[in-house]
């Protein structure tokens, strides 16, 4: 991979940007993780550094009133970029919140054993997909077959790939509604958490 580092200057009193941090630690990162980082990681790093610089392309804009024109650097549009994707991330969160039902929620977690972490690292798309489908299937089967529930479990999953210390730690946090959709009574509010605590252990 050919790495090109645009020039960035950190002014006193100005918050440091992610691109400046990447530039500062890139050599150390390459030395330590060069044989482990995936192509997507390298692309994300390069896109974040290039974002809104001439290296990412430019667009000529002109004011129709005063006829002043200038070149403006383009965004990278990489979903990991905190500079140009912050608004998109906030909008995504707002859309998810708009889908929430007016009922309480609780969370359960499913952690991948440490023995499988290397396998997951080398086969992320496959392992994450299997992890997702198996968890969803387990929870739905549990809800349908439990004598205390007998209904559909509503859930939202979030994949976590690293711990707070940035070491690999794979688990899915599952946000579950306390309300169960049943075929007989319609809704059974509060049944899910009680049953998961009783039968799920």
**pLDDT over threshold 70, residue 24:** yes
Q: Residue ranges of the alpha helices (H) in the chain?
A: 18-33, 39-50, 86-98, 117-122, 124-145, 191-199
Whole-number percent of the chain with pLDDT over 90 = 29
Domain that holds residue 56: 18-92
12 is a domain residue = no
pLDDT in tens, 110-132: 998 989 988 988 888 899 999 99
Give me 130's structure tokens. 């299997």
60/104 same-domain check:
no
Are 195 and 144 in contact by the 8 Å Cβ rule? The answer is no
Domain boundary at 40, 57, 92, which? 92
- DSSP letter, residue 115: G
Instruction: Say how far residue 164 (Cα) sits from the centre of its chain.
Output: 14
Instruction: Say how far residue 57 (Cα) sits from the centre of its chain.
Output: 27
109/84 same-domain check:
no
What is the arithmetic mean of pLDDT over 126-155? 82
Mean pLDDT of the chain: 80
172 - beta bridge partners?
A: 110, 159
107/48 same-domain check:
no
193/122 same-domain check:
yes
pLDDT reported for residue 196: 57
């Amino acid at each position: 991979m050919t790495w090109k580092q645009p020039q960035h200057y950190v002014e006193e009193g100005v918050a440091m940007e992610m691109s400046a941090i990447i530039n500062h630690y890139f050599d150390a990162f390459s030395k330590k993780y060069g044989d482990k980082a995936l192509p997507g990681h390298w692309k994300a790093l390069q896109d974040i550094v290039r974002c809104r610089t001439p290296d990412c392309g430019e667009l000529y804009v002109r004011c129709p009133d005063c006829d002043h024109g200038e070149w403006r650097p383009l965004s990278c549009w990489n979903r990991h970029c905190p500079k140009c994707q912050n608004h998109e991330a906030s909008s995504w969160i707002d859309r998810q919140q708009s889908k929430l039902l007016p009922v309480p929620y609780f969370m359960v977690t499913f952690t991948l054993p440490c023995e499988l972490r290397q396998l997951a690292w080398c086969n992320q798309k496959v392992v994450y997909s299997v992890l997702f489908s198996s968890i969803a299937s387990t929870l739905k089967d549990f809800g349908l077959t439990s004598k205390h529930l007998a209904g559909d479990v509503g859930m939202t999953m979030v994949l976590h790939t690293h711990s707070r210390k940035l070491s690999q730690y794979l688990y899915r946090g599952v946000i579950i509604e306390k309300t169960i959709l049943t075929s007989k009574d319609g809704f059974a509010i509060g049944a899910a958490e009680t049953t998961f605590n009783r039968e799920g252990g």
